[in-house]
Amino acid sequence: QSHLVESGGGTVQPGGSLRLACAVSGFSLDGYWIGWFRQAPGKEREGVSCISDSSSSSTNYPDSVKGRFTISRDNAKNTAFLQMNSLKPEDTAVYYCAADWRPHLELCTLDTGWYGFWGQGTQVTVSS
């Protein structure tokens, strides 16, 4: 059975940092895109980062988090990470990791419809 489990969420003051982890079991991350998404109350789920498994491990970020968030992966540990710096109150949401088998596509997408495996989410609250 396949599982994605997020960890590392919590409450942090504006300007602070958090590092989320996504531990994957049941399949190897080799050849998979990994994406991080978030959903705030009353809003649609939106992509905040993704990384392919190409030789360049290309990444993709929306303008809202570019320069503040960094996605990374460790296929040997079957784990992905999201480093979030300079957090803002508007970053408050439930954060989800997702994955899908895309071994031949260089550039990942932030479209939720391209991802078939999802975690249960971890809450991130940015508040003073």
State the sign of the Cα–Cα–Cα–Cα dihedral 121, 106, 27, 72.
negative
Look at residue 35 in the predicted model and tell me its pLDDT: 98
Look at residue 120 in the predicted model and tell me its pLDDT: 97
Look at residue 55 in the predicted model and tell me its pLDDT: 75
Look at residue 57 in the predicted model and tell me its pLDDT: 83
How far is it, in rounded angstroms, from Cα 121 to Cα 34?
14
Enclosing H/E stretch for 88 = none
How confident is the prediction along the chain (128 residues), in pLDDT tens digits per residue? 889 999 999 999 999 999 999 999 999 999 999 999 999 999 999 999 999 997 778 999 999 999 999 999 999 999 999 999 999 999 999 999 999 999 888 899 999 999 999 999 999 999 99
Q: Which residues of 97-126 are buried (b: 16+ CB within 10 A; e: fewer)?
A: bbbbebeebeebbbebebbebbbebbebeb
CB 75 within 8 A of CB 30: yes
Q: Which residues are registered as beta bridge partners of 9?
A: none
Look at residue 81 in the predicted model and tell me its pLDDT: 98
Look at residue 32 in the predicted model and tell me its pLDDT: 94
How far is it, in rounded angstroms, from Cα 70 to Cα 48?
10
User: What are the pLDDT digits (tens) for 103-117?
Assistant: 888 899 999 999 999
CB 76 within 8 A of CB 113: no
